[in-house]
Amino acid sequence: MTPQEILSELRSVLDDLAPGVKLDEAHLDTRLSEVGYDSLDLANFLLAIDEKYGVKISDDEAVELGTLRGYSRHIAEKTA
Amino acid sequence: MVSLRAIGSFIPERLIDNLGLKDRFGVSEDFIRDKIGVVTRPVMAPGWDTADLATASIKALVEKEGLDLATVDCLVVCTQNPEGRGLPHTSAIVHGRLGLDEGCAAFDISLGCSGYVYGAALIQSFMEANGLERGLFVTADPYSKVVSPDDKNTALLFGDAATASLFDAADDASRPAWRVTRARLGTIGREWAALAVDAEGVLHMNGREIFNFAAVKVPVEIEHLLREADLTLGAIDLVLLHQASKYMVDTLQKRLKLPPHKVPFEAGAVGNTVSSTIPLLLERRLADPKLSRLLLSGFGVGLSIASCILERKAA
């Protein structure tokens, strides 16, 4: 899958997990915590990535990646 | 046959208002109400200890049920924060304070959030195996003894409470009678460090590890339990989960693909009371004639997980 396809899927995952948070195109390079996702949403998001793509992301990696685009690229690299 | 007949509970009057702590921990009111789900938390009175809570819950049960304590021949206390330093066992102290009979078996079991399911299965089997007639199973695990008020991960979550469940072998149609008909009990000991008290006596929790454990393991264990019992979720009236947090219960409800009303969260005023969360949910439901089959699941410290089917016996 391309990073763009993964990004699209991750947006759906986040919409399901936290429908109250508005995520749009302008937020793709914004840290998810700054978009409005809290620590519980992010823990659930990281679990969803593990279950969907088989990619485990450590707490340190999550801090480093941070944005939706960052997660998408990372998953694309790990699953290439 | 031994059955669960009634539950009494004790919730301390002293309440901590979590909303008053939101600025200190940098969280919003929505996060407290909708994610943690705990708005107030009871804390036992200064000078109180675990045996006080346990004894108060038994007194509540006695008042409610008119129970004659002289007839009790089994007392089990579930706690990991025992009275004093844990020697002697809390059940012995409670036994002494209530003046129970010298022929009454009394022992503690060391389990956290899975403790009610383990304990219910245990006391039912233990009483039947040993011909005992009337048993009390108490949950009393005051985390206020180990939670740091400065720890964002735990300080807004836990509340103190105790419950006492009456199990008896009497042929009494005047009270509801429920039995554990199937249980699945397990442990992932290699991950124990995710929730533990350190050398200084302070609780530490890796929230992400605990979340992953519960979100993944609980639905799988429930599925296995139902298969073993030759049942489906459609045959279960309610799923009563350990009230870890609102977000945890909501997540599991979605993963189980059940409507919210079948997986209640009711810990908003009392918090996560560890092994007491499930009996607090059960207490107000035992006499509900519309309910005949419940599924209970407790999970947490250990990492331990226990699920069971609880069925009402036909009158």
pLDDT digits (tens, 9 = 90+) for B48-68: 999 999 999 999 999 999 999
Indicate the residue of A38, A51, A59 with minimum beta-carbon distance to B208: A59
Indicate the residue of A38, A47, A59 with minimum beta-carbon distance to B215: A47
Q: Residues B219-259: pLDDT tens digits?
A: 999 999 999 999 999 999 999 999 999 999 999 999 999 99
Assigned token pair, B168: 């008896």
- Stretches where chain A sits below pLDDT 70 are none
Contact check, Cβ <8 Å, A38/B31 = yes
Helix B90-98 × helix B50-65 angle, to 10°:
50
B278-291 mean pLDDT? 96
Please give the angle made by the CA atoms of B159, B187 and B249, to the nearest 5 degrees: 45
Residue A31's CATH number: 1.10.1200.10
Q: Give the separation between CA B61 and CA B44, rounded to whole angstroms.
A: 19
Residue B148: C-alpha distances to residues B131, B151, B173, B205 (Å): 44, 5, 47, 11
Contact check, Cβ <8 Å, B35/A38 = yes
Residue B312: C-alpha distances to residues B115, B285, B295 (Å): 21, 11, 12
Other Cβ atoms within 10 Å of B86 Cβ, number: 14
Quick check: A17 and A45 in contact, CB under 8 A? yes
Of A54, A43, A39, A57, the residue nearest A1 (C-alpha): A54
Which residue of chain B is at minimal alpha-carbon distance from A51?
B216
Cα B186 off chain centre by:
16
Residues of chain B contacting residue A51, judged by C-beta atoms under 8 Å apart: 216
Model ipTM? Answer: 0.90
Residues of chain B contacting residue A48, judged by C-beta atoms under 8 Å apart: none
Assigned token pair, B82: 């025992």
Q: Is the dihedral of CA B4, B83, B276, B303 positive or negative?
A: negative
Q: Give the separation between CA B135 and CA B165, rounded to whole angstroms.
A: 8
Indicate the residue of A38, A39, A47 with minimum beta-carbon distance to B212: A47
| Domain ranges, residue A28 | 3-79
Q: Residues B5-30: pLDDT tens digits?
A: 999 999 999 999 999 999 999 999 99
Assigned token pair, B279: 């009996």
**Does residue B206 sit at the A interface (CB-CB below 8 Å)?**
no
Candidates B27, B151, B216, B247, partner chain A, best to mutate (most A CBs within 10 A): B247
Indicate the residue of A40, A47, A51 with minimum beta-carbon distance to B35: A40
pLDDT at B315: 66
Count of domains for chain A? 1
In a 3-state reduction of DSSP, which class is residue B196?
Answer: strand
Q: State the average pLDDT for chain B.
A: 96
pLDDT at A68: 93
In a 3-state reduction of DSSP, which class is residue B185?
Answer: strand
pLDDT category of residue B173 using cuts at 50, 70 and 90 = confident
